[in-house]
Structure 1
Amino acid sequence: MRNILLASAALALLAAPAMAQSVSSPSYYGTLGYSQLQGDNVDLGAVTGRFGAKLTPYLGAEAEASFGVDSDTYSFGATNVKVKETFDAAVYGVATLPINPSFDLFARAGYGTTELKASSGGVSATDSNESWNYGVGGNYYIDAQNGVRADWTRRDFTNDGGEADVYSVSYVRRF
């Protein structure tokens, strides 16, 4: 029995370099683009940046942040209220399906926070809400480092049960 254990340990030591070579190092990417948030009463625009890491060809993680650049006005009774996204931030787990070297599809799920500012008649208020987020999209790469990304993400807000759809188009840069 002792010989079997020693032989197994020796074999494991010999196989360790081969196992290390089969694990690829992470690849990183960043995106910069425009996002359109469509909620129940508002349609808002934001500049969105992301930083991600593909830990394997199929799994990764990304963080995103957006800053509002386009507001919307809706009527609340006889009062017009101007709404603007102040910011949002989220983290995601990402599953990727490589179709070919120039095109891949992905699905992502994560958690984030969104802050909105509403103003009317010289009075303004800011509120934030957390959300569970999920969505799908695709990347098309023009060359080895540069590409275009399009995606849709649903935000299911936790406090009030509301939801919003976010559509994004972005430039992608692989590092």
Structure 2
Amino acid sequence: MLKKIVAAAALALVASSSFAAAPTAFYGGLDVGSTKIDDFDQDKTSFGGFLGYGFNQFFAVELGYRYLGKFDVFGTDVKAKQTHLSLVGSYPLNAQFDVYGRLGYNNLRAEAKAGGITYGDDTDGGLYGIGLNYNFNPQLSGRFEVQKPSSDSTNYSVGVVWKF
């Protein structure tokens, strides 16, 4: 009898956690973090925002913008920015937590000012990342993510997600 109760409770927990997982319909959020570029000693503060649409509890598409930081390159300040479009796949761990991964397209822009003139360079490429999401309630969640905007840069961020 006890085995049946434990099995029923486990099944109920698994079923309920799948309904509380990743956002469905529209959502948006803000994040703050730290960017590390391999050839520089300094980590820089990053911040950004994103909008997404969850097709179901497992898949979403997300559009985002992130200011990756301002780096000193040979005495010149270089600002790095990122615009990305990603497919996000989520897997619920329990009612509050889900793990997710992202794979997408990304545009990186570097801008430097010297002598009153702004120079810029764009690079397009792939993007991937992995994260952990915590649901505070049905409309609000928090996330931690590690993202690779390029082969030589890593961004760590914490964010808040609002589900519409």
Fold-level similarity (TM above 0.5): yes
Aligned to 2:55: 55
Which protein shows a greater Rg? 1
Aligned to 1:71: 70
Q: Specify every segment of 5 or more residues in structure 1 that has no aligned partner in the other structure, as ranges.
A: 1-25, 157-161
Q: Specify every segment of 5 or more residues in structure 2 that has no aligned partner in the other structure, as ranges.
A: 1-23
Aligned to 2:112: 118
Aligned to 1:8: none
**Residue 164 (1) aligns with residue 153 (2):** yes
**Residue 35 (1) aligns with residue 24 (2):** no
Which of residues 101, 122, 125 in structure 2 aligns to 1:107? 101
The number of equivalent residue pairs is 139
1:12-62: CA deviation from partner (whole Å, max 9, x where unpaired): xxxxxxxxxxxxxx4222111113222134444332111112212111211
**Deviates most, 124-133 or 32-41:** 32-41
**What is the TM-score when the length of structure 2 is the normalising length?**
0.75
**Share of identical aligned residues, percent?**
24
Deviation at 1:132, TM superposition (A): 0.3
Aligned to 1:90: 84
SS of 2:138 mapped into structure 1: coil
Q: Hey, what's the Cα distance between the residues in 2 that align with 1:168 and 1:112?
A: 17
1:127-166: CA deviation from partner (whole Å, max 9, x where unpaired): 111120011001111122112111011123xxxxx53111
Q: Hey, what's the Cα distance between the residues in 2 that align with 1:92 and 1:67?
A: 17
**What is the TM-score when the length of structure 1 is the normalising length?**
0.70
